[in-house]
Structures are given as structure tokens and as C-alpha cells.
Amino acid sequence: MNQKHLFLSVVAASILAGCSSSSSRYDLDDDTAPKAPISVEHIEDAIPQYEPYSLGGNSNYTLRGNDYEIIKDPKGFTEKGQASWYGKKFHGHLTSNGEVYDMYSMTAAHKTLPIPSYVKVTNTDNGKSTIVRVNDRGPFHEGRIIDLSYAAAYKLDVIKTGTANVEIEVITVERPSAEHKVQKLPSYRIQVATSKYEDRSRTLAEELSQKLSVDSFIDSNNKTHRVFLGPFNDYKLTQEALEQVKLLGFDSAFIRKHTATK
């Protein structure tokens, strides 16, 4: 294990251990939505894909006197219960596997599913569904089975009610074969902004490319010009770049997956 992975594992373990304090991150009474929320209508569902399980956040653990055993084979896993959500209070903090929590990404927390996992969540109160990527632990309130990011909760109409009755279903993506890897080359792009002004879009793309030392390009269609960064071949590196973009003030930036056939 290299030093970076060791650090992330230790940090993630300390986050989880800290959950039992009186000011637990899972006591959502103090959590809030953003004061001036950006629109999340354009944010796409998480895109299920094969990912190796994280080094951090996947060990069995004990919390508040309860033992939790991580599910080794989640294929076909379903569960019914209540969903809650977490937002501004934890935005920018580390999740259980060492990633940075982004309330505008389609993510979630679960007590025992392996990290990362992809889950279809259906609000059985209104029939709305979405897909999220589990990268955190929680919630630890009785009856609650999943904690949704602000964006995911918004799409399922859970923000106003705080909780909702849901059914979750794990989406399993098998590890691609060597032949499959040759035929299809997945990559990731960060959509930063959309404008009707091509010259401004190109200027922005060039400035971001220089500041972040990444490639950029413009996608123009029907007089609409979208600024993209990438492509990236590594999802984690894409997430790190996304955090840098958001620190520059582009809160609505998000990741898009692209698969090109070789």
C-alpha cells in the first residue's frame, strides 16, 4: 500500500470513528440546504460502471454498540426503508473512502454496501427514480437505509420532506474482459459552462486549460457553446479536477462519461 492510499485509509477510518460523538455528522438536525442553491436539473444520474472497491471505508465496523458487516457480494441486493439527505454541513469534507463530498454530485451513503456501489433509488411516495454512487457510510437512524446527496434528494423530491419511503436496488457492472477493454475506451469530461457566445466560451476554455494544466475544448450545437475539460481516462483524477474547477467558482460543473469505440 503506498503512502497516499495509507493516508486515505487512516483518514476515512477516523471519520467513521468520529460518527459516534454527540455532534455526529449523521444527526441531520443541524444540516441545511445551500442558501442560494444552483440548479441541479442538468446533473445526470450517476453512470454505473465497473470500479474496484476502495481501500478505505470497506472494513467491518462497530458504531454506537452495533456491528456492521460489509456486504461482499451485493449483486441482486434490494432494500426498503426511508431515505434522508445531507447537504451544506458536509460539503467539501471527506467521505468514508477519502473522496470529497460534493452535495451537487449524485452520491449517497449506505451502512453496509461496498464502496463504491451504484444504486437505483425509487421514491415509492411519488414514483420518481434516480441512480447514485455510494461512497460514504450512514445513515445511522433507525429505519433509514440511505443518505442522499442534496442533488439526488432534490431529484427525488426529498428536500422539503426531509425523508421519504424508498426502495433501493444495486446495479452491478461486471469487470470488463480484456477484449472489451480493447474495443471500448471509456473517458470522462467535465462540463464547465454553457453560453451563447462562442468567443467568450473559447476564452474561458483557454484560461481554464492554462490554470489547471488540462486539455479543453468547445462543443457547439444550435448556437449553444459548451465548455469542456478533458478527456480524462481516470475517474478519480476527473473528480480531483472537478473540485479545482468548483474552487474557481463554477459550482454547476459536472462530470460526463463518454465511451468511444476503437
119 and 229 belong to one structural domain? no
Residue 49: which CATH number? 2.40.40.10
- Contact (CB, 8 A) for 140 and 112: no
205 and 165 belong to one structural domain? no
Rg of the chain's alpha carbons, rounded to an integer? 19
164 and 201 belong to one structural domain? no
Q: Does the structure show a pLDDT above 80 at 42?
A: no
Q: Which of 144, 171, 198 marks a domain boundary?
A: 171
141 and 248 belong to one structural domain? no
166 and 215 belong to one structural domain? no
Residue type, 87: G
Look at the chain and report how many structural domains it folds into.
2
Residue 237: which CATH number? 3.30.70.1070
Q: Which of 35-39, 87-91, 247-251 has the lowest mean pLDDT?
A: 35-39
The predicted structure's pLDDT at residue 31: 56
Task: Please report, for residues 43, 81, 151, 197, the alpha-carbon distance to residue 168 in angstroms, rounded to integers and kept in the order given.
Answer: 20, 9, 17, 42
Q: Does the structure show a pLDDT above 50 at 19?
A: no
193 and 110 belong to one structural domain? no
Q: Does the structure show a pLDDT above 60 at 20?
A: no
140 and 213 belong to one structural domain? no
Q: Which of 171, 197, 224 marks a domain boundary?
A: 171
Q: Which of 21-30, 38-47, 148-157, 163-172 has the lowest mean pLDDT?
A: 21-30
Residues of the domain holding 116: 3-171
160 and 216 belong to one structural domain? no
74 and 125 belong to one structural domain? yes
Q: Which of 116, 151, 171 marks a domain boundary?
A: 171
The pTM assigned to this predicted structure is: 0.63
186 and 164 belong to one structural domain? no
The predicted structure's pLDDT at residue 178: 62
The predicted structure's pLDDT at residue 251: 86
Q: CA triplet 75, 146, 102: central angle to 5 degrees?
A: 105
